Amino acid sequence: MTSPSPNGQPVLEPLRVAMLGCGVVGSEVVRLLTDQASDLQARVGRPLELVGIAVRRLNRTRPGIDPSLFTTDAEALVRRPDVDLVVEVIGGIEPARSLILSALGNGASVVTANKALLAEDGVTLFAAAEKAGVDLYFEASVAGAIPIIRPLRESLVGDEVTSVIGIVNGTTNFILDKMDTDGAGFAETLAEAQALGYAEADPTADVDGFDAAAKAAILSSLAFHSRVTSADVYREGITEVTSTDISSARAMGCVVKLLAICQLSPADPDHPERERTVSVRVHPAMIPRSHPLASVGGAYNAVFIESQFAGRLMFYGPGAGGAPTASAVLGDLVTVARNRLRGAAGPGESSYAARPVSPIGNVITRYHLSLEVADVAGVLATIAQCFAEHGVSIQTVRQQGREADAQLVIVTHRASDAALSATVEALRGLDVVRDVTSVMRVEGE
């Protein structure tokens, strides 16, 4: 592994790194690999040498990076026999999946930030890593620089995690936070976020909750030792959130957040044979201002974990951005490099518990509803009757006159999503109800 140098000191053979992608995150990874080279060498025990960067187009200028490193032939790069470690920061399903599988098949360890791919087809990747006896690490895939994968895979592995609730999408948190501060509506706040670079030109992945849903799938797979994919995640985005919802939340001492909620159903002591299930959902929700997640502002992320023995933990930090994500990638890169030198691999997929995912209808939580109703005597009685018939108990009602009509704001006690949905459908059929203008879950109490 060593060869003599001209001055007689042994030269350490480097571990060779191939990069796939060189966008915002990739270029920061290159900068870290260069700036911190001597520290990384000391921490790994060998130099990390970047031997190639696969990009789509060669003609883009990338200042500070040796142009001879770039190639458009990603497949050839990951198949190079001298490559030890592959960093994938392209994103998306293909060609990322094929390239990662080629790299693993070639015996390289892989570090990826690709939440969409892991949430859609992690099982194929984990199986390939297991077969090759190499590592697949993915700390950067959820909540940027915040260590959350490693705590779930390792720190809490002796405990029983019962709930993971996260603010895992910075764009939507920025928008909701702005709406709360400025009292503005969704559309104008989105436009502002786009102008400031906090939201993409096509904001669908963020505002419709796809990004958060992928992260929820990854978190719940790890937390509950089960396989959960994006398709298992119930998903609502923030496009329907109105400034009225936000001011109504405020009146209740709450804020509106887009939450990724992963929960394990409690064991039934009377029926220990009953299978415990996992529920995974992403939707806007009202949470009390006193909840630790309520004060997570701007583009920050946070993940709140409850476990049987450790109790309540929270992890907080920058959830996106080139440098923070690169920090997470490099932490993984050093770890898999060390594992490689020791001839060992870190923890693989743990899905032994194989908990089934229960449908959204089974979720039990509280609800906040806004209704436009006719301002006539007896309307509240009619509406209360409708809730009672569906087994949904009302906690508070606030009524405010509005010319001929009135607005009712109703907060329920805990009820199943199925019961609530049936209630809303029935309410829409009542003559006195002009419209059900908003339904939002209330969490964190």
- Residues at the contact surface with a copy of itself, assessed by CB under 8 A: 28, 32, 36, 39-40, 42-43, 139, 144-147, 150-151, 154-160, 225, 292, 295, 307-318, 321, 323-324, 326-335, 338-339, 342-345, 347, 350, 352-353
> To the nearest whole angstrom, how small is the minimum distance from the Cβ of residue 15 to a copy of itself?
13
> To the nearest whole angstrom, how small is the minimum distance from the Cβ of residue 64 to a copy of itself?
16
Strands 161-167 and 300-307: antiparallel
Token pair of 264, please?
Answer: 């394990």
Cβ pair 336, 346 in contact under 8 A: yes
CB crowding 194-203: b at 16 or more within 10 Å, else e: beeebbeeeb
Nearer to a copy of itself, 282 or 320 (CB): 320
d(CA 385, CA 366): 18
d(CA 438, CA 345): 50
Nearer to a copy of itself, 14 or 292 (CB): 292
Q: Which of 115, 131, 178, 215 is catalytic?
A: 215
Cβ pair 28, 325 in contact under 8 A: yes
Residues 6+ apart with CB under 8 A from 87: 17, 18, 19, 20, 26, 29, 110, 111, 112, 329, 333
Nearer to a copy of itself, 336 or 424 (CB): 336
Nearer to a copy of itself, 34 or 72 (CB): 34
Which contacts qualify for 353-356: CB closer than 8 Å, 24 or more apart? 353/224, 353/225, 353/226, 354/226, 354/227, 355/224, 355/225, 355/226, 355/264, 355/275, 355/276, 355/277, 355/278, 356/275, 356/277, 356/278
Residue that the structure tokens 């939450």 belong to: 259
> To the nearest whole angstrom, how small is the minimum distance from the Cβ of residue 294 to a copy of itself?
11
Gap between the terminal Cα atoms of the chain: 58
> To the nearest whole angstrom, how small is the minimum distance from the Cβ of residue 236 to a copy of itself?
28
Residue that the structure tokens 């990384």 belong to: 40
Nearer to a copy of itself, 303 or 392 (CB): 303
CA 359 from centroid of its chain's CA atoms: 20
Token pair of 196, please?
Answer: 């400031």
How many beta carbons lie within 10 A of that of residue 123, not counting itself? 14
CA distances, 198 to each of 108, 208, 284, 299, 322 (Å):
35, 15, 19, 8, 13
Nearer to a copy of itself, 52 or 318 (CB): 318
Nearer to a copy of itself, 262 or 326 (CB): 326
Nearer to a copy of itself, 2 or 308 (CB): 308
Q: Does residue 215 carry a catalytic annotation?
A: yes
d(CA 391, CA 389): 6
Active centre residues (catalytic): 215
